[in-house]
Amino acid sequence: MGRARRLIEAVLIWLGKWELATLPLPRILLATTSLTSDRLLRGFDHPVTPLVLARWFPNLSNPWFVLRCLYLGVVAVGGTPREILDRLRPYKVLIDGFGNEWVLEVARLARQRGIPVYAIWHGPYYQDVKKDVFASVDCVLSWGEGNEEWLEANDVRLSTTRVGNHIA
Amino acid sequence: MKILLLQYLQPRIDPLAVENTETFYFLGLMARLADHDIRLRLHPESRKREHYKGLWPGLKFDNESRPFRKALAWPDLVIGPAFSGAMLESLAAGKRTLMVLLAPHSCNLSYFRGAKVFTSLDAVEHAARTFTDPDCKEFLERYTARKEIPDPVGKIWAALVA
């Protein structure tokens, strides 16, 4: 599966370059786990271009899902966080992995470039821990009161919008 | 009874978690509930299938590469670690769900307000056999806002597009 997946990712990135040339829409970088990307892309119907990291592209084993994504203008991207942000200049960035080094780098560099960073959970936190990533976040998308309680208890004072739980 | 047993994969952010708890949970529940039809579902990123086969010969597995939502069609009862997001999915799907939280851990128990959390395997077995169905509605609402926001994905896109 490893080699086949890498081949599919390379094809998607190549197709993405063509798509980007024809889609002059604001770009939203989904620097999110495949679980979150899956939910968001299934419900996608907006005048923006979602950018999804090819190696985290969800449901690659489901050709109908992938074809639907391509049809709707979802673009698979590859490269380092710096390359992706400088080349594609997203309008906003969404992250959901608060401990992942790649995601931390995306958030930090996006913040430096003045690109708004939004954060959402992909799994609940029941431990009181300090997460450095919030220093690079502009807005938190909360599942509900539980997430908001955690933010307050852990001294994260950021603009918060309650959006509900996209996983459950 | 068909039981879907979720792997007790402890979060890396928990400094008190010890690896042995995962095996203690698995063997303890298998021994107690072996007269039922049990399938183990591993975390998709866990590569421990061979390890578990060695622990319990003949063990049946749920296919961890298929979405958890689809896996929920099979069981009568779901047992899993309280800190897993899968518990919220199971509760939201209306499944009988037993949330297990074994010491040591660094979870703040106040976050589980409105849920029944089982802290011993004997209590899990008793609940499973007596068809106890804990009321977790308040807890579920606090982590999903289902009544308030029926379309979370639409709400997320609206925030991102604005």
Contact between A144 and B141 using a beta-carbon 8 Å cutoff = yes
Has residue B15 got a pLDDT over 90? no
Measured between CB atoms, does B154 come within 8 Å of chain A?
A: yes
Rounded CA separation B16/A1 (Å):
35
Rounded CA separation B153/A62 (Å):
21
Chain B residues touching A158 at Cβ < 8 A = none
The predicted pLDDT at position A98 comes to: 86
Measured between CB atoms, does A141 come within 8 Å of chain B?
A: yes
Residues A71-83 have a mean pLDDT of 92
Has residue A50 got a pLDDT over 60? yes
Contact between A127 and B154 using a beta-carbon 8 Å cutoff = no
Give residue B131's pLDDT band: very low, low, confident or very high (50, 70, 90): confident
Query: Least CA distance to B16: which residue of chain A?
Result: A127
Averaged pLDDT score across all residues of chain A: 91
Contact between A162 and B142 using a beta-carbon 8 Å cutoff = no
Rounded to a whole number of angstroms, the distance from the CA of B109 to the nearest CA of chain A is 8
Tell which phi-psi region holds residue B120, choosing left (phi > 0), alpha (psi between -120 and 50) or beta.
beta
The yes or no reply on domain B2-161 and CATH 3.40.50 is: yes
The predicted pLDDT at position A24 comes to: 66
Give residue A1's pLDDT band: very low, low, confident or very high (50, 70, 90): low
Chain B residues touching A140 at Cβ < 8 A = none
Give residue A162's pLDDT band: very low, low, confident or very high (50, 70, 90): very high
Give residue A76's pLDDT band: very low, low, confident or very high (50, 70, 90): very high
Rounded to a whole number of angstroms, the distance from the CA of B108 to the nearest CA of chain A is 6
Contact between A164 and B148 using a beta-carbon 8 Å cutoff = yes
Question: Omega into B104 within 30° of 0, i.e. cis?
Answer: yes
What is the ipTM metric for this complex? 0.91
Q: Taking the CA of residue B80 as centre, how many other CA atoms within 13 Å lie in the half-sphere pointing to its CB?
A: 27
Cβ partners under 8 Å of residue A164, min gap 6: A143, A144, B144, B145, B146, B148, B149, B150, B151, B152, B155
The predicted pLDDT at position A12 comes to: 82
Measured between CB atoms, does A109 come within 8 Å of chain B?
A: no
Query: Least CA distance to B107: which residue of chain A?
Result: A127
The predicted pLDDT at position A155 comes to: 94
Contact between B153 and A162 using a beta-carbon 8 Å cutoff = no
Measured between CB atoms, does A65 come within 8 Å of chain B?
A: no
Q: Which two tokens stand for residue B47?
A: 């590569």
**Tens digits of per-residue pLDDT, B30-53?**
999 999 999 999 998 888 999 999
Chain B residues touching A38 at Cβ < 8 A = 67
Rounded CA separation A104/A157 (Å):
18
The predicted pLDDT at position A6 comes to: 83
By mean pLDDT, which of A12-16, A115-119, A126-130 is the weakest? A12-16
Rounded CA separation A112/B86 (Å):
35
Has residue A20 got a pLDDT over 80? no
Query: Least CA distance to A150: which residue of chain B?
Result: B111
pTM of the model: 0.91
**Tens digits of per-residue pLDDT, B57-92?**
999 999 998 889 999 999 999 999 999 999 999 999
Measured between CB atoms, does B45 come within 8 Å of chain A?
A: no
Give residue A46's pLDDT band: very low, low, confident or very high (50, 70, 90): confident
